[in-house]
C-alpha cells in the first residue's frame, strides 16, 4: 500500500518537520529546537538585538512565534517535547509576544462598547468585496487552491486554539462555549470534525492534506491569525480577547462560507468539496447567537471589566483577516501567486 500524507494524517502518524528560518529570530528558535533543551540553548543577547525594531507582522517574528506555539499542539518531528516548557525559550516567546501584541493594539481603535463592536460585524461593506466574493464571481481555480493552502494553517487544527479558553471561563459562558466546540469537533464523530472535513476538501482540490504540510510556504499574513488565536488562548489575562475573537469568527463566517460553497460549485468541484463550507453555513448561524448571548453575555455579566478585551479581540480578528485578504487580492490582481512558493497552476 502506498503511504500518502493524507493516510498519515488520518492515522495520526504524520509528523511536521521544522521549517526553514526566515530571519534571525526564527533562526534562533529553529536552531535551538534541533538540539536538547538546556539552559543557554536560546541565547539572550541575539534575541534582544533581533527584536529591536522588528516588524510585528513580518515573516521572521510570525514564523518564530508559530514554531514556539506549535510546541503546545503537535510539535515537530525530532524535537524533544520538553522544549514546550523550557524557561529560556518561554522568555524569548514572551518577548516576541510583547512585540506582536503591541503591534495589534497599535492598529485597532479600542474601546469597550461590545454591542457596537459586534453589531458592526453584521454589516457587510459591499463596496469593498472580499476574497470570497472574488472567488465566487471571477476567481480562478489556482487562486482558490492557494486560498485553501493559506487557510490550512488554521483549519487543520480548527477549534484547538479556542479550546484553551474553556478552563478560564465559568458558568453559562463555559457550558455554551463547550457546546460550540463540540460541534466544531464533529459532535463526537471523527469523520465530521471540521478539521477532517477541510482535509477532505484539500484532497478533492488536489492538495496535500497533511497537518501543516504547507507551513514552509505560508506567508506571515497567513500565520498571524493563528498566532493571534494561540496568543489569546494561552494567556488567562487575554481570555476576554479570545472570546471576542471567537464571537467575531462565528458572526462573520456564514456569509463567507456560502460564497465559498458557490465558488466550489462554479468550478465543478467534487462531492466532498462543499461539505466543509455548507456545514459552516448552518452551524455558524446558530453559533453566532450562542456566542453573542450565552458566552459574551454571561462573561460580561460576571466580569464586566473584560469588555475592552472582548472589543480588542473582535477588532484584532478583523485586522489580521483584512491584512490576509488584502494580500491575496493584491497578488491576484497582479497575476502573481500569494504564497512564498507557487503551486502548480492547474
> Do residues 226 and 161 lie in contact, with contact meaning Cβ atoms separated by under 8 Å?
yes
Q: Please give the pLDDT value at position 50.
A: 67
Retrieve residue 83's grid coordinates.
522544549
Q: What is the pLDDT of residue 39?
A: 85
Alpha helix positions (H), the chain: 5-11, 24-33, 44-51, 59-70, 87-107, 114-121, 131-137, 141-155, 160-163, 171-184, 194-204, 220-234, 239-266, 275-289, 297-302, 307-333
C-alpha 146/C-alpha 230 separation (Å) is 23
Number of residues that this document lists for the chain: 346
In this prediction, residue 171 carries a pLDDT of 97
Handedness of CA 334, 213, 62, 180 (dihedral sign): positive
In order of their start, the domains of the chain are 5-106 (no CATH), 113-333 (1.20.910.10)
pTM above 0.85, yes or no: yes
Helix (H, G, I), strand (E, B) or coil at 179: helix
CA dihedral 299, 301, 304, 310 (to 10 degrees): 30
Q: What per-residue confidence (pLDDT) applies to 273?
A: 77
State the pLDDT at residue 284. Answer: 62
User: CA torsion sign, 302 to 317 to 205 to 63?
Assistant: negative
User: Cα(280)–Cα(291) distance, rounded to whole angstroms?
Assistant: 15
- Cell numbers standing for residue 236: 488567562
pLDDT of residue 10: 47
Positions of the chain with pLDDT lower than 70, given as ranges:
1-14, 44-50, 125-127, 270-272, 284, 346
Cα distance between the two ends of the chain: 27
Q: Residue 127's pLDDT is what?
A: 65
pLDDT for the residue 286: 79
Residue 165's pLDDT is what? 98
For residue 233, what pLDDT is reported? Answer: 98
Q: How far is CA 136 from the centre of its chain?
A: 22
Amino acid at each position: 500500500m502506498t503511504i500518502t500524507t493524507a493516510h498519515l494524517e488520518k492515522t495520526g502518524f504524520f509528523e511536521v518537520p521544522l521549517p526553514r528560518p526566515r530571519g534571525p529570530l526564527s533562526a534562533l528558535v529553529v536552531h535551538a529546537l534541533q538540539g536538547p533543551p538546556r539552559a543557554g540553548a536560546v541565547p539572550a543577547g541575539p534575541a534582544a538585538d533581533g527584536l529591536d525594531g522588528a516588524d510585528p507582522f513580518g515573516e521572521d517574528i510570525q514564523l518564530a512565534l508559530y514554531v514556539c506555539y506549535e510546541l503546545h499542539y503537535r510539535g515537530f518531528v525530532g524535537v524533544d517535547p520538553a522544549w514546550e516548557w523550557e524557561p529560556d525559550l518561554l522568555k524569548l516567546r514572551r518577548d516576541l509576544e510583547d512585540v506582536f501584541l503591541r503591534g495589534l493594539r497599535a492598529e485597532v481603535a479600542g474601546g469597550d462598547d461590545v454591542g457596537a463592536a459586534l453589531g458592526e460585524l453584521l454589516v457587510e461593506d459591499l463596496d469593498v468585496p472580499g476574497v470570497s466574493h472574488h472567488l465566487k464571481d471571477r476567481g480562478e481555480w489556482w487562486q482558490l487552491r492557494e486560498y485553501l493552502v493559506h487557510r490550512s494553517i488554521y483549519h487543520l487544527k480548527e477549534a484547538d486554539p479556542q479550546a484553551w479558553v474553556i478552563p478560564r471561563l465559568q458558568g453559562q459562558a463555559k457550558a455554551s462555549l463547550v457546546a460550540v466546540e463540540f460541534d466544531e469537533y464533529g459532535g463526537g464523530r471523527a469523520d465530521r470534525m471540521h478539521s477532517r472535513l477541510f482535509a477532505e476538501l484539500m484532497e478533492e482540490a488536489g492538495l496535500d492534506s497533511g497537518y501543516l504540510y504547507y507551513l514552509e510556504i505560508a506567508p506571515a499574513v497567513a500565520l498571524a491569525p493563528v498566532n493571534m488565536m494561540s496568543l489569546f488562548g494561552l494567556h488567562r489575562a487575554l481570555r476576554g480577547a479570545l472570546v471576542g475573537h471567537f464571537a467575531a469568527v462565528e458572526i462573520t463566517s456564514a456569509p463567507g462560507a456560502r460564497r465559498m460553497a458557490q465558488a466550489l460549485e462554479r468550478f465543478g468541484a467534487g462531492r466532498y468539496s462543499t461539505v466543509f463550507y455548507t456545514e459552516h453555513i448552518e452551524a455558524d448561524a446558530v453559533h453566532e447567537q450562542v456566542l453573542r448571548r450565552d458566552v459574551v453575555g454571561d462573561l460580561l455579566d460576571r466580569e464586566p471589566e473584560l469588555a475592552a478585551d472582548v472589543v480588542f479581540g473582535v477588532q484584532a480578528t478583523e485586522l489580521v483577516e483584512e491584512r490576509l485578504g488584502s494580500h491575496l487580492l493584491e497578488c491576484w490582481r497582479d497575476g502573481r501567486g500569494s504564497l512564498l512558493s507557487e503551486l502548480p497552476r492547474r
